[in-house]
Amino acid sequence: MRLIQLLILVLIFMGSTMAHPLHLSITNIDFINDTAKISVRIFDTDLFLHLVQCHPEATTSGNVDSTELTHQYIINYLKNSLQLGVENISIIMNYVNIIAEDGSVWYNYSAIIPANIEKCTIENRILTECYGDQKNLTIIKKGKFERGLEFDSNITRMEVILN
């Protein structure tokens, strides 16, 4: 009887962990001369649920401009949730384009930066206010230097020496 109870508990535990969705974004930051190329990959469903929960006005159906409103909201949300600084100077990210791919979307940005930077500060808060288990993986490249960082709701800001 105890074996059956243990087996039931194990099956319930496995079922509940398998049903839990993964909340993940991937950000690539590539420093090339005086330009930073920034790409953010985020899952459609996570972003949509964020909009519905936090900003329902951006998803108003029946409004001719609702698609454009949603698109502009997401562009600005990502710019505000991903802050980049180099050599203690805040960088302004400029939206480039969007690429949809297999249930996720890449939002691409670029920024003008000072040449020959040696350090950068990244604040990555993408969807951390919505999902307690949100992970934001960030890959930074500058020449031969490459480093991966992991942000979550507890760790949202890091400074990186680029050498």
> Can you give the pLDDT at residue 55?
72
- CA gap 140, 11 in Å, rounded: 40
pLDDT per residue rounded down to tens, the chain (163 residues) = 444 443 344 444 444 333 347 789 999 999 999 999 999 999 988 888 888 777 776 666 555 556 777 888 889 999 999 999 998 899 999 999 999 988 899 999 999 999 889 999 999 999 998 888 999 999 999 999 999 999 999 999 999 999 8
- Work out the number of other CB atoms within 10 angstroms of the CB of residue 122: 21
pLDDT of residue 63: 54
pLDDT at 5: 44
Q: What is the pLDDT of residue 50?
A: 82
Q: What does R_g of the chain's alpha carbons equal in angstroms?
A: 19
The structure's pTM equals 0.82
- DSSP run (H or E) holding 7: helix 2-18
The burial of 59, by beta-carbon neighbours within 10 Å (0-12 exposed, 13-18 middle, 19 or more buried), is given as middle
Q: Look at residue 11 in the predicted model and tell me its pLDDT.
A: 41
- Between strands 89-91 and 82-86, the pairing is antiparallel
For residue 6, with 0-12 CB atoms within 10 Å meaning exposed, 13-18 middle and 19 or more buried, which class applies?
exposed
